[in-house]
C-alpha cells in the first residue's frame, strides 16, 4: 500500500464517521471499534483482524478466567507467557487483596536492624529500633546486664511478705549453699533480721508455737562416722595485741520481757533453753543438757584481776540500782530440779576434783546471808525432830542430824539446839 499522509487525526472513540467535505484533506479516526481513514471522498475501514479486543484473547496470556478467582498473575518459568497462580507459602492473599504474612514466617535473618538495638512497638502500633537503656542493658549477643546499684529492697518480692527461700535444684541434692555479705567499714560481714528501731512484729497469734529461726539436721542410717556433728558453730578469736577494753562474747542471747512503762506478762521466760534428749537403748560416753569448758593452753600463765570460771552466773539489776520486791516461791542463783518420775539419779550436784591441786571444793562468800544451808525436814536424811536416832551412838543429847556419806561409810553430823 502506498504511503498516505494524514492532515488530521481523531483519537476519540466516535460512534459515527466524522464529518469532513474537504476533498483535499486526509484524516484518521476510531469509529466504534474500527480504525478508519478519510481519502477525501469517503471513510475506509482498515483491516485489523489480528488485534484482540480482550486480555484472554492475547496469544501469551491465559485462555480464560475460569477458576482464576483470587489468583495473581505472574510470568511463567520459561519467561514466554503470563499465567494465573494462587499466592501460598509464607504470604497469602485474601479475596479483597489483603496480603498476610504467616505466623513465625519472618526470622531474624530477614530483618535489618542496627547493632545492639531491639524492635519495640510504638504508640501507633508500628515497630521501631530502640537501644535498651536504664537499669538493664543488652548486648548484641542477647546478654542482659542489670546496672550497679539498680536493685533495691523495695523491688524484691518475698513469699507471703515474710520468707526468703534458698534451695537446690533437687530435694536431695548435696549442694553447698554459701550466703555471703559485703564487708562493712569494720571489715565484719553483717546480717540483720529486724532491728531495735524496726523489729519483726508478731501481729497475729497463730495459736501454736512461733519459731523465728529453724535448723534441722538428721544423721541418718548409713551416713557413716564423723568426728563432730554441730548444728551451729560460732568462733570469735582475738589475736595480736588485742584490745584491753574489749569484751569478747562468742554467742550473746538476750531476752527482754516488758518495758518500764507496761505490764507485759508471759507464762515462762528463758534466755536460753537447750535440751538433750535420749530415746532407746543406744550406748554413749557422756550426755549433758549444758556443757561448758574452760580450756587453758598448755603451760599457760596469765593474770585475771576478777575471776576465771568454767561457768559464771550473775543476778544483778540492769543499770545498777536496787530492784523492787520480787515475789516467787524460788528466787535462786542456780536451781537444779529433778522431777519425781526420774529414777536412778546418783546426785543432784557432783563435784569431781580429778586429783588436781584444789584449795576448796566449795567456797562461799556469805556476805549478809541469813543461813549457810536451808533444807526441809526430811526424816532419814535431815531432821530436827527425830534426834533420838543418835542416842545409840552418842550419850550427848542433840536436836537432830545431817546424814552424809564419806567413801562407802555413812556418817551423821549432829545438829544441836541454839543456846538460849
CB 258 within 8 A of CB 264: yes
Higher pLDDT, 399 or 207: 207
Long-range CB contacts (within 8 A, 24+) of 359-362:
none
pLDDT at 162 over 60: no
pLDDT of residue 73: 84
pLDDT of residue 344: 93
Hey, how many other C-beta atoms are within 10 angstroms of the C-beta on 27? 19
Cell of 323: 530492784
* Mean of pLDDT values over 206-229: 84
pTM beyond 0.75: the answer is no
pLDDT at 164 over 50: no
CB 87 within 8 A of CB 95: no
Give the separation between CA 408 and CA 93, rounded to whole angstroms. 113
Cell of 93: 492473599
Q: Tens digits of per-residue pLDDT, 64-117? A: 878 787 888 888 888 888 888 888 888 888 878 888 888 888 887 778 888 888
DSSP 109: G
Q: 382: which residues sit within 8 A by CB, 6+ positions away?
A: 375, 376, 400, 401, 402, 403
pLDDT of residue 280: 93
Give the separation between CA 113 and CA 128, rounded to whole angstroms. 9
Q: Tens digits of per-residue pLDDT, 237-295? A: 988 887 888 899 999 988 888 877 778 888 899 999 999 999 999 899 999 999 999 99
What percentage of the chain reaches a pLDDT higher than 70? 79
* Mean of pLDDT values over 33-41: 75
pLDDT at 215 over 50: yes
Which runs of consecutive H residues, i.e. helices, occur in 15-166?
none
What is the chain's mean pLDDT, rounded? Answer: 78
**Radius of gyration of the chain from its Cα atoms, rounded to whole angstroms:** 54
Cell of 376: 526441809
pLDDT of residue 366: 85
* Mean of pLDDT values over 179-201: 68
Q: Tens digits of per-residue pLDDT, 320-352? A: 888 888 899 889 989 999 999 999 999 999 988
CB 296 within 8 A of CB 310: no
Give the separation between CA 75 and CA 81, rounded to whole angstroms. 6
pLDDT of residue 50: 60
CB 175 within 8 A of CB 168: yes
pLDDT band at 169 (very low <50, low <70, confident <90, very high): very low
Q: Is residue 338 left, alpha or beta, with left meaning phi > 0 and alpha meaning psi from -120 to 50?
A: beta
pLDDT band at 224 (very low <50, low <70, confident <90, very high): confident
pLDDT band at 163 (very low <50, low <70, confident <90, very high): very low
Higher pLDDT, 55 or 335: 335
Give the separation between CA 24 and CA 1, rounded to whole angstroms. 20
pLDDT of residue 343: 93
* Mean of pLDDT values over 119-139: 84
Amino acid at each position: 500500500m502506498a504511503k498516505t499522509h494524514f492532515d488530521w487525526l481523531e483519537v476519540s472513540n466516535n460512534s459515527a464517521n466524522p464529518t469532513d467535505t474537504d476533498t483535499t484533506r486526509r484524516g484518521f479516526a476510531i469509529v466504534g471499534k474500527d480504525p478508519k481513514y478519510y481519502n477525501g471522498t469517503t471513510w475506509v475501514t482498515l483491516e485489523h483482524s489480528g488485534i484482540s479486543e480482550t486480555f484472554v484473547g492475547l496469544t501469551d496470556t491465559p485462555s480464560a478466567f475460569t477458576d482464576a478467582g483470587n489468583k495473581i498473575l505472574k510470568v511463567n518459568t520459561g519467561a514466554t507467557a503470563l499465567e494465573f497462580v494462587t499466592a501460598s507459602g509464607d504470604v497469602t492473599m485474601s479475596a479483597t487483596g489483603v496480603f498476610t504474612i504467616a505466623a513465625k514466617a519472618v526470622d531474624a535473618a530477614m530483618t535489618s536492624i542496627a547493632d545492639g538495638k531491639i524492635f519495640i512497638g510504638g504508640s501507633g502500633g508500628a515497630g521501631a529500633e530502640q537501644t535498651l537503656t536504664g537499669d538493664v542493658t543488652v548486648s548484641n549477643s542477647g546478654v542482659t546486664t542489670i546496672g550497679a546499684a539498680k536493685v533495691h529492697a523495695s523491688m524484691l518480692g518475698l513469699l507471703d511478705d515474710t520468707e526468703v527461700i534458698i534451695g537446690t535444684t533437687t530435694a536431695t541434692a548435696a549442694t553447698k549453699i554459701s550466703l555471703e555479705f559485703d564487708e562493712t567499714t569494720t571489715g565484719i560481714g553483717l546480717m540483720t533480721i529486724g532491728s531495735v528501731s524496726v523489729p519483726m512484729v508478731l501481729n497475729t497469734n497463730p495459736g501454736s508455737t512461733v519459731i523465728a529461726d529453724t535448723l534441722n539436721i538428721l544423721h541418718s542410717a548409713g551416713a557413716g562416722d564423723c568426728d563432730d556433728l554441730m548444728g551451729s558453730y560460732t568462733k570469735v578469736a582475738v589475736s595480736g595485741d588485742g584490745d584491753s577494753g574489749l569484751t569478747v562474747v562468742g554467742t550473746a542471747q538476750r531476752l527482754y520481757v516488758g518495758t518500764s512503762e507496761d505490764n507485759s506478762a508471759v507464762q515462762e521466760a528463758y534466755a536460753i533453753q537447750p535440751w538433750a534428749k535420749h530415746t532407746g537403748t543406744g550406748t554413749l560416753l557422756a550426755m549433758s543438757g549444758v556443757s561448758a569448758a574452760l580450756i587453758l593452753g598448755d603451760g599457760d600463765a596469765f593474770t585475771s584481776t576478777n575471776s576465771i570460771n568454767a561457768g559464771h552466773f550473775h543476778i544483778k539489776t540492769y543499770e545498777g540500782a536496787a530492784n523492787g520486791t520480787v515475789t516467787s516461791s524460788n528466787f535462786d542463783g542456780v536451781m537444779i530440779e529433778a522431777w519425781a518420775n526420774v529414777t536412778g539419779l546418783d546426785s543432784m550436784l557432783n563435784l569431781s576434783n580429778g586429783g588436781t591441786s584444789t584449795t576448796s571444793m566449795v567456797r562461799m562468800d556469805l556476805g549478809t546471808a541469813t543461813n549457810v544451808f536451808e533444807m526441809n525436814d526430811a526424816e532419814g536424811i535431815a531432821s530436827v525432830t527425830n534426834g533420838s536416832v543418835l542416842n545409840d551412838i552418842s550419850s550427848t543429847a542433840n536436836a537432830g542430824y545431817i546424814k552424809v556419806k564419806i567413801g562407802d561409810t555413812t556418817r551423821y553430823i549432829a545438829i544441836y539446839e541454839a543456846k538460849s
